[in-house]
Structure 1
Amino acid sequence: MNKYEIRVIVLAGLLLSAFFFAILYNDFSRNIDVPACVTYSGTFKVPHVKKLDRSTYEVYGVAKMWAFTPEDLTFPEGSTIDLYLTSDDVVHGFNIVKKGVNLMAVPGATTKTTVTFETAGVYRILCHEYCGSGHQYMMGKITITPKKYY
């Protein structure tokens, strides 16, 4: 091998190491959660909220042109929400602003993530995947109320 081939191999090894380090850093120090895929069944097609205990909820959401259902959700401060999401028609994006939640709503599939809301406020939900001509109107909100109101 000549010296240029050795340089390319060393450079490729360094880049691979940098990418591997970046993945490990984001996984362990920044606590980025990867959404899970759940086995799809017809029960996920009916949007509803289920209260499991004082601060734990399950939300079964359905995305369809051009709305998320349920659209407006209200929970007390400190709530933990297991969010199950599917789609009725096309691929939609699901982003909870200020929380780093980014899901894809795919027809025939269900994605799941868990979110904890520690501070009161209004968290906007936006569709970040172009889904048709009314895409800009596809949004919702999660309202977190202070504990003294619950």
Structure 2
Amino acid sequence: MHVHAYEKIWLALSIVLILLLLGSVTYGAVGPGIAMVSDQQDPLDPEALDEDDRFAEPRVEQVGENEYEAYVVAYQFNFDPDPIVVPANSEVTFYITSPDVIHGFEVVGTNANTMVIPGEVAEITVQANEPREYGIVCNEYCGAAHHGMEGTLEVVPEEEYEQRTAAEADDGGEDA
């Protein structure tokens, strides 16, 4: 059987396009910086977040030299804490959960992007190198005011971070 030259070209082009599509889907699923919601942590009771030590008081805490953990609660239609303040030249691991509905958590301008599911803890890490302000947005429709659900990640110089931390500690001591 004789196949015309143009048919061979179109057949080869079709095969190449199919392989490119499969490659892009595979890369999107396992590419660098892509993290799925982990099932390695125990599920939480989304109605009892105030009983969980990590999320009772959402906060940022230092866990090592230039390493921080941020415990964030996404709820209709805010993030807590907001703003999230960390020093420059640090690595921040976010632990995010929700008490109400599915939300998204995207640090705009980075590859940090995850789904936040009630009762689950999403974990994602960001390198905060230069002092600047990043927007945080919910990119999963979560209700009527979804369009206004945004927060801020403030990466500040290390000296400013130390001053803010000291001032918060002083304020906390006076309120007690």
Per the normalisation by structure 2, the TM-score is 0.69
Amino acid at match of 1:114: T
Which deviates more, 41-50 or 121-130?
A: 41-50
Instruction: Report what 1:81 is aligned to.
Output: 92
Gaps of 5+ in 1: none
In the TM superposition, what is the alpha-carbon distance from 1:11 to its structure 2 partner? 5.0
Instruction: Report what 2:115 is aligned to.
Output: 104
Gaps of 5+ in 2: 45-51, 163-176
Instruction: Report what 1:123 is aligned to.
Output: 134
Amino acid at match of 1:144: V
Aligned match of 1:60 in 46, 71, 80?
Answer: 71
Task: Within 5 Å, give how 1:1-150 maps onto structure 2.
Answer: 10=12, 13-22=15-24, 32-38=32-38, 39-42=41-44, 43=52, 45-46=55-56, 47-149=58-160, 150=162
In the TM superposition, what is the alpha-carbon distance from 1:148 to its structure 2 partner? 4.1
Quick check: which one's helix share is greater?
2
Amino acid at match of 1:125: I
Instruction: Identify if the C-alpha distance between structure 1 residues 56 and 2 changes in structure 2 by more than 3 Å, giving closer, same or farther.
Output: farther
Residues in 1 aligned to 2:2 and 2:141: alpha-carbon distance in whole angstroms: 49
Residues in 1 aligned to 2:66 and 2:85: alpha-carbon distance in whole angstroms: 12
Structure 2 residue matching 1:130: 3-state secondary structure: coil
Structure 1 residue matching 2:64: 3-state secondary structure: coil
Amino acid at match of 2:32: I
Quick check: which one's strand share is greater?
1
Structure with max Cα Rg: 2
Q: Greater relative contact order (Cα 8 A, min sep 6): structure 1 or 2?
A: 1
Instruction: Identify if the C-alpha distance between structure 1 residues 90 and 73 changes in structure 2 by more than 3 Å, giving closer, same or farther.
Output: same
Residues 77-133 of structure 1 show CA distances to partners (whole Å, capped at 9, x for unaligned) of 111011111111111111111112211111122211110011101111111222112
Residues in 1 aligned to 2:159 and 2:55: alpha-carbon distance in whole angstroms: 34
Q: Which runs of 4+ in 1 moved over 4 A?
A: 1-12, 23-28
Identity %: 28
Per the normalisation by structure 1, the TM-score is 0.79
